[in-house]
Amino acid sequence: MSFDGRSAIVTGAGGGMGLNIARDLLATGANVTGVDLKDRPTGFGYGLDEGPGKALYLQGDITDEAFVADVFAKTQEANGRLDYLVNAAALLWFGHDKSLVEMDLEVWDRVLDIDLRAVMLMARHAVPLMQASGGGAMVHVSSTQSLRGDPNPQDAYTACKAAIIGLSKSLAIQYARDGIRSNVLVPGMTDSPMQDRFKDQPEIKQAIADSIPLGRLGQPQDMANAVLFLLSDRASYITGTELVVDGGTWAGM
């Protein structure tokens, strides 16, 4: 898959699957704006400068519309167009995000800001630039948590991840005639920094891996592979749908 000369914005590019997606797009020739609250990744194997695409890294809060507008303005200035948007940033707030009966409403509001409002803001500013570029593709990252209830609830996260699916379908239908596609990646359990809660509990990670039909946790690269396919011209007839990448977990429920 070649993205030579195309322009992409990837949120959550400071680590995990967002970083993998950004690096893979750079490696295939895309010019990538990585966006995150985290510092720009540095060091061998973690940088965003490998190319051949050009990298731009912008640090800030994507729940702030002024910052989001600046991201798109700087991307347009650098690349002259926008072809792709990947909404990979998210907050999974263990210990705080729980049952709606129990959680502080400030937690609910903050999770919705990061996991849903930011997705909306990024798409809101992406559409006009994609229209001007003659089309484009978006991939929004949801979760298998959106497809089920949970006896250990994270109600704000679950609500956001389900809402992303509905929002993506609406975008797909609204802008299909403009050549803009919108799809959702639905990852299962992924061995990424978001799951650092298990880093000192290898037995729990192994038990989870053993419960997955393919016998392992997902890796950020598995998710990056799926996202690049959905962005690519090979998926040019795919819009308004979800790609579940979970090692077969959901199929076995």
Measured distance CA(3)–CA(23) in Å, rounded? 12
Which spans in 31-188 are helix H? 65-79, 105-112, 118-133, 155-175
Domain ranges of the chain: 7-246
Phi, psi of 15 (to 5 degrees): 175, 175
pLDDT at 51: 72
Q: What is the CA radius of gyration of the chain?
A: 17
Query: What is the SS3 assignment for 95?
Result: coil
Q: Which residues are catalytic?
A: 157
Burial class of residue 19 in the structure, from the number of CB atoms within 10 Å of its CB (0-12 exposed, 13-18 middle, 19+ buried):
buried
pLDDT at 209: 84
pLDDT at 43: 46
Side chain identity, residue 175? Y
Q: Could you tell me the sign of the dihedral formed by the alpha carbons of 142, 144, 149, 152, in that order? A: negative
Q: Which helix (H) or strand (E) holds 10?
A: strand 7-11
Q: What CATH number does the domain located at 7-246 have?
A: 3.40.50.720
Cβ contact 84:53 at 8 Å: no
Measured distance CA(212)–CA(116) in Å, rounded? 28
Query: What is the SS3 assignment for 56?
Result: strand
What are residue 36's DSSP bridge partners? 59
pLDDT in tens, the chain (253 residues): 889 999 999 999 998 899 999 999 999 999 999 999 999 886 434 556 667 889 999 999 999 999 999 999 999 999 999 999 999 999 988 889 999 999 999 999 999 999 999 999 999 999 999 999 999 999 999 999 898 888 888 999 999 999 999 999 999 999 999 999 999 999 988 887 665 655 666 777 788 788 888 899 999 999 999 999 999 999 999 999 999 999 898 876 6
Q: How many helices (H) and strands (E) does the chain have?
A: 7, 7
